[in-house]
Every structure is written in structure tokens, then in C-alpha cells.
Amino acid sequence: MMRQYELVERVKRYNPSTDEALLNRAYVYAMMAHGNQKRASGDLFFGHPLEVAAILTDLKLDDATIAAAVLHDTVEDTQATLEEITKSFGPQIGALVDGLTKIKRLDLVSKRAAQGENFRKLLLAVADDVRVLLVKLADRLHNMRTLGFMPPEKRKRIAEETLDIYAPLAGRMGIQEMREELEDLAFQNLDPEAYEAISRHLREVTAKAEKLVEEIEHDLTAKLKAQGIEAEVTGRQKRPYSIWRKMERKSVSFEQLSDIFGFRVIVGTIDECYRALGVVHTTWPMVPGRYKDYISTPKQNDYRSIHTTVIGPGRQRVELQIRTRDMDEIAEYGIAAHALYKEGVNDNSRLAKESRAYQWLRRTIDLLAEGDNPEEFLEHTKLELFHDQVFCFTPKGRLIALPRGATPIDFAYAVHTDVGNTAVGCKINGRMSPLLTELQNGDEVEIVRSEGQTPPAAWESLVVTGKARASIRRATRAAVRRQYTGLGHQILERAFERAGRLFSDEKLKGSLPRLARASIEDVLAAVGRGEMFSGDVVRAVYPDYKDERRAISAEAAGQADGKSPEQMQRGIPIRGLNSDMPIRFAPEGGAVPGDRIVGILTPGEGVTIYPIQSASLAAFDNEPDRWIDVRWDFEVHDRQRFPARIKLQSINEPGSLAQITQVIADHDGNIDNVSMKRRTQDFTDLTIDLAVWDLKHLNAIIAELRAKRVVSRVDRVNG
């Protein structure tokens, strides 16, 4: 276990003016608080926060972060309180410890919900201070290093969570060394056989290629020096998990991989980066398609470097990364590089907030305000953590970074939520293209918009970014709520009219406490969904109202056959399935314009439209509150088909089905479904679902079918 003076010495190596007294006090306080607590390994628990602090000293973090790392488990696992921490070490360290403690205080039913809620709390804490994230990542890294002492089931769960969330998150923050170690440790626990096999191969290859690596380092350094470029060239082999993932992605064996080794070229300036690239490409042939310039177009985690692959000595593929020393610092430490100890700078967290990686975090945190549940939020964020990127441009030249596999729909939502919600088409590089086209690096995308457009719910399963999915789901929910609210308003208007009482928002607002709803919109939506009956609302507004209800079976007949034309006109207008109300037609037989119709309110589904003669209506005789007055409302030029069903008995002879379908086609009917059943050797029963314009159109088809010799009987199905 690290001693007190060793911790101070580690910090003093990069921060000579460190507050030794603060670090000493934190060390002693945590040691006393944890006392004789033990970890699963049998070691003293206090050794864990010390190792977390040691990891953070490698990232050269400030005194407050190191002290918070030492103290981060005290409030959660000991008798220490946050008030004591804040009083003893100041509000800054208290806030860091509080941010880390809040993450663990959960009592949720679902492990997946707990994981999602944990992640939400982590990112919310990070919104205030990015150093919370750095401590959490270091905490996870040390836990992974000692994971072998855990039970197998728990070990598997923690390793999966690390591979799913924390390793990609470290990568997004640009801390590549930590990401690679987290991935390897998780891989080692999840698939120890594969890990050992790849590690064994790597050891063998490294032993054989040692001279080749030295040769490339020497040759490249000499060639750059001859051109006046002082460079530091180092070779390194890829990590086991990185190799395994590439083997899986490309479906190749270890022996087929030709780029096990990579070389890093560190130079002084950006100009020298491009000059070094020229030297490399004029010395060895470049592998087409393997050149990437992340200096002119940095990654979202601030990573900047030139990547290229050449055919080097011995016809060996060699991957090269060319960057300046400042870029290398960002590549190694990522977001932590912005929070390194700097002379005269007190607010290191503010420096981190200037980074592109932190901007990505902020955008992710914005999703928390959209009301998604923990599982949805976790799903969305994992989508963005895992994908590689493509870089596209707006017509005005704005750069939009998206996950690989993204579509113009994702692009539209990345520009702005309103742009995504109103998107109806797109141009890619000046040409009209489908909205589901997969975008490529360098594409210029222009979104065609239409105000009043609502994104189809099906888009949610087609996009790849978390923001797009969350926005589509939110817009769909809002559209459905608007439908139910509009339907509820019309139902209440007619309910109050039948009661002979005045309906107004002001009167409804006064009865909200009695209806146990927070707003008028909530009441309207509840009525539209069938969760609240219109009569209950009338009585809540007018407590003296007496609802003299008749038996609904008699009333239903009166609604259809005894109403005057003026009364019929007062029904809720029905335009069809594409109306602005949540309606559907009777599943057994449908309904068409020309039918006298009745609406039945179904909780959570809206209104189902039945012809008044439908036998299915008898099932609702004792539920008067579910009956809704409705009427057709469409113009002659509104060419929309409606569902209907007919049953036929046809003679069983060759060509009979063809004659039946030809009649329907000749009359411009559309067949949606056909089912056939052999009744006897001579006759076949057919049930045909049609889409027709109106009752006149349907009757014309039925009449023509009855005239056919092969048809013995035709009847309409009325449910």
C-alpha cells in the first residue's frame, strides 16, 4: 500500500508547489475513516482509494482531484458525512466527493434501470465538474485490475458494463491508454481463452519482429533528419482486444493480419507533420484508402494526428501516426490534458470545458432533459459511444460529425431538432437522395423541410444516433397526445351540449382538483384516450347535473335511425385513417362513407368506427360512456379508400377466382387480403378484404359479383 509521503512525492513530480498539507490531511482522514475495512481480495480497503489517486497522478491532475480520489468512498462506505468533508477540505472537494457519492445511492428494481440511472447521475455530476468523470474512470480501472477476486457472475457483469460504457467513454474523452487497458481487462474476464490465445500470438510475433521494428525506427528517424526534421519515432504493438475486434469485424484469422505494429512519429510543428508525411509517402508506397487527416478535421474528443499506412521494409504493412508533442499529450491524456496542473490556473475544470470532448458530453447530458427513461438514455448513449465517425457538411460549410452508418435523418437532427422533425427529403452532394442513404465522409447534405411535418414513428428504428431516436420518440408522443387532446375536446363539447350546459376552458380549469389532473390538456387527453368519461367531467364542472341515461341499446338505435339531419351533423367528423384523430375502423368488416356509423371509445386506442348495423355493437350495450356520435366529413375530391369485407360462395372450377378478382379490378377496387376454405367438393368459401371509395362503390362491386355464374352468393360482413 502506498505510503503518505509517496503520494505527495508523486504529485510533486509534476506540481512542485502542491499543497502537501491538504494531501496529508486527506490521507489521514480516509485512513482513519476506513479503518480495518477489507476488500474481496483481503487487502485493506484504504489501499483502493490510494491506487485510484495514483492513477490520477499519472494524468497529472490537480490537488483537489487527488484529494477527492483519496476521499471518494468515505461518505458511501464509512461513518463520514459530506458536511464533515466539506468543512474539513472545502466546498470544491466536497462537491467532487458528493458527485461521486450520488452515483451509488440507488435502489432500483431493474439492474438495467440501475445501470442507466447510474450513468445519468454520473453525467449530471460531470456537467458541474469534469474531474468527477476522471475520478470515476480511475476508480473503475483499479476495480478492473482487481476483478479476479470477485464471484464469476459479478465479474462478468462488471466486465460487460466496463466494455459497454466505461471503456468507450474513456475513448470519447480521449484517454486512449486508459481505454485500451479497460478493454483488455474486460476482454480477459469475458473471454479468457481468446485473450490468452491472442496474447500468446503477440508474444511470438514480437520476438520475431523485434529487429524489424528497430530497423523501421532507425530508418525513419534518419530519413526525417536528412530533411531537417527532428522526430521521435517509436513502435508499439496493438493490444489484444483491439486485434480481436478487428478479427471479428473483418472475419480474418490472426495470421492474416498485417498491421500488428504501429509507429508514432512525434515532431515539433504542424508544418513538420505534413513534411514528415511527404517523406514517408515518397519513401514507401502508401496503401490506398488508409490515409486520414485528423489535424485539419479533429475527432470529437480533440484527437489530432495524421494516420497513414505504407508498405515498409520486408513488404510489411506499417501504420504510422504523425503528430506534434501537444497533440500527443491530448492523444494520451484526452480531456485530462485540459485539466492538467498549470501554473497560475485555479479552475482546471473550466479548461476542460473548452474541449470538444466536453462539448459532446454536454450534448449527451442535454438528452437527460428530454424525459427518456434510464434504459432509453443508456441505449442512446451507448449507440454514440461505440460508433466510428463520418464527417459531413451543411451547404454553408458547417462540419457535422456523426456515427458511421448515419443517415440524412441523423444529420438533420444533429443540425437541430426542428430540422429533423420537419425533414421530408434531402440532397447529398447536390443530388436528391433517399433519407435512408448511408452517409460517407465528406458528403455535403442539404435537408428539404416542410413545416407541419411530423416524423414517422418508424424512423426511430432506422436512425443510429441517440439524439435522433430521442427526438423522434418525443415528437411521436407529442403528436399522439395532440390527437387525443383534440378528440377529447370534441367529445366534451358534444357531452356538454347534450347536457345543455356551457363548456369553456375557464370552467374546466376550476374543476381540475376534482378531476385529479394538473392541466386542462391532461383532462382532454384522458377523455380522448378513454381513461376518463365525458359524463364525469360534466358532473365535476356542474355538480348539480343529473345524467338521465337510457339503456344504450335503445339509445343507439335512436342515434342512428331517429336523428334529424341537423342532429347527425353535430357528430364528430371522421375523415379516414389519415385524419388528425386517433381512429380505426371495425376489425371485422370496416366501415365506408355512406354507412351510418357509431364510434366506440377504447381506452388507450382512440375511437373505433362501426356501421350502425354491426353485430359487434351489442358487446357495448352496458357501457354508454363509450358511445361517441360521429359523422363522415369528406369532399368529393378527397380520394381515399376505406376498409370493407365481403364473403362469397363460389363454384369450385378452374378460373373462378380469376373471374372474381377481375370484377373487383374492373371496378377499381383494391384487394387487401383473401382467405379461402373448401366448403364441399363443389363450393369454396372466400373472405375478401377490400379498400373502396364509398358505399356506392362497394354495392356496385357486390352487384357485379352476384351476376357472375361462378358466384352463388355474396354478402357484406358487418362485424
DSSP letters, 124-139, are: HHHHH-THHHHHHHHH
pLDDT greater at residue 178 or residue 366: 178
Evaluate whether 353 touches 136 at the Cβ level (below 8 Å).
no
Burial class (CB in 10 A: 0-12, 13-18, 19+), 68: buried
Evaluate whether 609 touches 649 at the Cβ level (below 8 Å).
no
Mention every residue, 6+ apart, whose C-beta is less than 8 A from residue 327. 295, 303, 304, 305
What is the distance between the alpha carbons of residues 305 and 269, in angstroms, rounded to a whole number?
12
Residue 10 within a domain: no
Please check whether residues 504 and 564 belong to one and the same domain. yes
Three cell numbers, residue 384: 454514440
Three cell numbers, residue 344: 497560475
Active-site residue, selected from the candidate residues 9, 43, 58, 76: 76
Q: Which of 603, 463, 484, 588 is nearest to 532 (CA)?
A: 603
Of 89-93, 193-197, 299-303, 305-309, give the lowest mean pLDDT range. 299-303
What is the distance between the alpha carbons of residues 58 and 142, in angstroms, rounded to a whole number?
13
Give per-residue pLDDT as tens, 352-379: 445 666 666 666 555 544 545 555 555 5
* For residue 105, pLDDT beyond 70: no
Please check whether residues 576 and 682 belong to one and the same domain. no
Of 187-191, 358-362, 381-385, give the lowest mean pLDDT range. 381-385
* For residue 684, pLDDT beyond 70: yes
Q: Of 337, 370, 405, which closes a domain? A: 337
Tell me the DSSP string of 6-33.
Answer: HHHHHHHTT-TT--HHHHHHHHHHHHHH
Please check whether residues 614 and 501 belong to one and the same domain. yes
For the question of whether the overall pTM of this predicted structure is more than 0.75, the answer is: no
Q: How many domains does the chain have?
A: 4
Residue 426 within a domain: yes
How confident is the model at residue 435, as a pLDDT?
A: 93
Please check whether residues 515 and 623 belong to one and the same domain. yes
* Span 126-137, average pLDDT: 78
How confident is the model at residue 120, as a pLDDT?
A: 62
Beta bridge partners of 671: 690
Q: How far is CA 522 from CA 169, 405, 493, 510, 605, in A?
A: 39, 39, 16, 14, 16
* For residue 391, pLDDT beyond 90: no
Active-site residue, selected from the candidate residues 43, 58, 77, 444: 77
Which range, 348-352, 437-441, 572-576, has the best average confidence (pLDDT)? 437-441
Residue 665 within a domain: yes
Q: Of 442, 476, 510, which closes a domain? A: 476
Binned at pLDDT 50, 70 and 90, residue 324 comes out as: very high
Please check whether residues 390 and 484 belong to one and the same domain. no
pLDDT greater at residue 359 or residue 209: 209
Which range, 227-231, 300-304, 315-319, has the best average confidence (pLDDT)? 227-231
Binned at pLDDT 50, 70 and 90, residue 272 comes out as: very high
Binned at pLDDT 50, 70 and 90, residue 494 comes out as: confident
* For residue 553, pLDDT beyond 90: no
Binned at pLDDT 50, 70 and 90, residue 115 comes out as: low
* Span 603-628, average pLDDT: 83
Residue 133 within a domain: no
* Span 633-660, average pLDDT: 84
What is the distance between the alpha carbons of residues 371 and 389, in angstroms, rounded to a whole number?
27
Name residue, grid cell 530533411: 227
Would you call 238 helix, strand, or coil by DSSP?
Answer: coil
Give per-residue pLDDT as tens, 429-467: 989 999 999 998 778 999 999 987 889 888 988 898 878
Please check whether residues 470 and 504 belong to one and the same domain. no
Evaluate whether 96 touches 74 at the Cβ level (below 8 Å).
no
Residue 93 within a domain: no
CATH of the domain at 266: 3.30.460.10
Please check whether residues 572 and 590 belong to one and the same domain. yes
* For residue 188, pLDDT beyond 80: yes
Asked about 271 being catalytic, the answer comes back as: no
Residue 182 within a domain: no
Please check whether residues 461 and 487 belong to one and the same domain. no
The percent of residues in the chain predicted with pLDDT above 90, rounded, is 31
Please check whether residues 468 and 489 belong to one and the same domain. no
Q: How far is CA 613 from CA 618, 700, 718, in A?
A: 10, 20, 7
Binned at pLDDT 50, 70 and 90, residue 351 comes out as: very low
Please check whether residues 230 and 296 belong to one and the same domain. yes
Please check whether residues 376 and 400 belong to one and the same domain. yes
How confident is the model at residue 626, as a pLDDT?
A: 82
The percent of residues in the chain predicted with pLDDT above 70, rounded, is 83
Residue 255 within a domain: yes
Residue 188 within a domain: no
Asked about 77 being catalytic, the answer comes back as: yes
* For residue 6, pLDDT beyond 50: yes
Q: Of 277, 306, 337, which closes a domain? A: 337
Binned at pLDDT 50, 70 and 90, residue 382 comes out as: low
Three cell numbers, residue 214: 528497430
* For residue 303, pLDDT beyond 50: yes
* For residue 485, pLDDT beyond 60: yes
Strand 683-692 to 670-678 pairing:
antiparallel
* For residue 401, pLDDT beyond 50: yes
| Mean pLDDT score across all residues of the chain | 82
Please check whether residues 572 and 607 belong to one and the same domain. yes
Q: How far is CA 375 from CA 60, 108, 113, in A?
A: 35, 12, 5
How confident is the model at residue 229, as a pLDDT?
A: 92
| Residue range of the domain that includes 394 | 357-476
